[in-house]
Amino acid sequence: MKTFITIFILALSTNAFAQITQIPDPNFEQALIDLDIDSDGIVNGQVLTSDIETVISLNVENKGIQDLTGLEDFIALEDLNVSNNLFNSLILTSNTNLKTLIVNTNFNLFTLNVSNNFLLEYLYCSLSTISELNLTNNIMLKELVLGDDLPSGTNIIEHLDLSNNLALEKLHLINMDFLKTINLKNGNNISLADVIIYCELDFGAVCEPFPCMEVDDIVAAQNNQFPYSEWSVAVNYAEDCTLGVSTQVNLIISIHPNPAKDELFITAQNTTENLKIKIFNIEGKLLSAQNITLQDQKAIDVSQLLNGIYFLNIEDENGNTTIKKFIKQ
């Protein structure tokens, strides 16, 4: 009997002194229970810190979470997916081991702080309302995807500085119609193999003016030389975006029909007759490239494409470019 009482008292003492992390959002805690992370299995506003401090990967996508308080004690976390939730702030200063962050489709998200995540390699943040994003300290960042799939999206970032992100290999900035400047002068543009920057309005027209972008080699960019010839971007290249944009012309080009079945017709208003046409799929892979003269050929053949969404990169003889999205049926 004495032995049982002693063990019971020791158990109570252990629980009494166990470190607790507060989880005020019941949906967040329920998600942790469903993942067998919260060991007591009860929605009681708390979790044993020992339950969460060794978790490496956490996916709480689409759980109706409004408050991620408690996430700061996931100190071993490397991969985090918090997409499609309802919180308005995500501060990750305590999650210093984080390598992958997926935070898509959070329309209430106004603040995202990754300034202390020095190991971050992959950041995907589409369909949010963040107005600023400081990536200065994320020197390991390899992939950055921002913006919206919807025309004239909700992302309201105006200035994006990527000059410290030397490891960057993939950059997608989609429908960021508030974006004014991009500093991509990181000294390693040659490693950027996958770059897509475009924006269109709800009625299909491109966003104007194009954002100003600084790169390592302004001459090569304006002459559409490697690696910039491999990029699919609608930007104005400039030596210094703080001094104003370059004199590139925003092409006024329309395409029809859209959706298209066999042929896609091109109409141009303020450019030369000779155009270079590239077709990219939704993943940014180059599918075809051809040169056309509008006087002889006003349509391109899309009959061999599978049904889906594609991007048409159109460039004239002066290096002016525009991007059009079309649907193949």
pLDDT band at 37 (very low <50, low <70, confident <90, very high): very high
pLDDT recorded at residue 202: 58
Q: Which pLDDT tens digit goes with each residue over 197-243?
A: 988 765 556 677 789 999 999 999 999 999 999 999 999 999 988 76
Q: CA angle, corner 298, sides to 250 and 232, nearest 5? A: 40
Question: What is the pTM assigned to this prediction?
Answer: 0.71
What secondary structure letter does DSSP report for 231?
-
For residue 89, pLDDT beyond 60: yes
Average pLDDT, the chain: 85
Q: Which pLDDT tens digit goes with each residue over 62-72?
A: 999 999 999 99
Of all residues in the chain, what percent carry a pLDDT higher than 90? 56
Q: Tell me the sheet residues that pair with 80.
A: 58, 101
Same fold, 20-243 and 253-328: no
The residue behind tokens 């975006």 is: 241
Q: Which pLDDT tens digit goes with each residue over 90-108?
A: 999 999 999 999 999 988 8
> Residues 91, 114: contact at Cβ < 8 Å?
no
Say how far apart CA 285 and CA 311 lie, in whole Å: 10
For residue 245, pLDDT beyond 70: no
> Is 3.40.640.10 the CATH classification of the domain at 20-243?
no
For residue 80, pLDDT beyond 70: yes
What secondary structure letter does DSSP report for 191?
G
Q: CA angle, corner 181, sides to 201 and 275, nearest 5? A: 60
Per-residue exposure over 153-173, b if at least 16 CB sit within 10 Å of its own CB, e if not = bbbebebbbbebbeebbbbbb
pLDDT band at 5 (very low <50, low <70, confident <90, very high): very low
CATH class of the domain defined by 253-328 = mainly beta
For residue 262, pLDDT beyond 50: yes
Q: Tell me the sheet residues that pair with 128.
A: 106
What secondary structure letter does DSSP report for 44?
S
> Residues 178, 158: contact at Cβ < 8 Å?
yes
Q: CA angle, corner 254, sides to 231 and 321, nearest 5? A: 25
Q: Which pLDDT tens digit goes with each residue over 143-154?
A: 999 987 665 455
Q: Which pLDDT tens digit goes with each residue over 246-261?
A: 445 556 778 888 888 9
Amino acid at 113: N
For residue 315, pLDDT beyond 60: yes
- Compute the radius of gyration of the chain from its Cα atoms: 25
Over range 73-83, report the average pLDDT. 98
- Give residue limits of the domains in the chain: 20-243, 253-328
| Bond preceding residue 227 cis, omega within 30 of 0 | yes
| Bond preceding residue 211 cis, omega within 30 of 0 | no
Say how far apart CA 221 and CA 190 lie, in whole Å: 12
In 13-56, DSSP assigns E strands to 20-22, 46-48
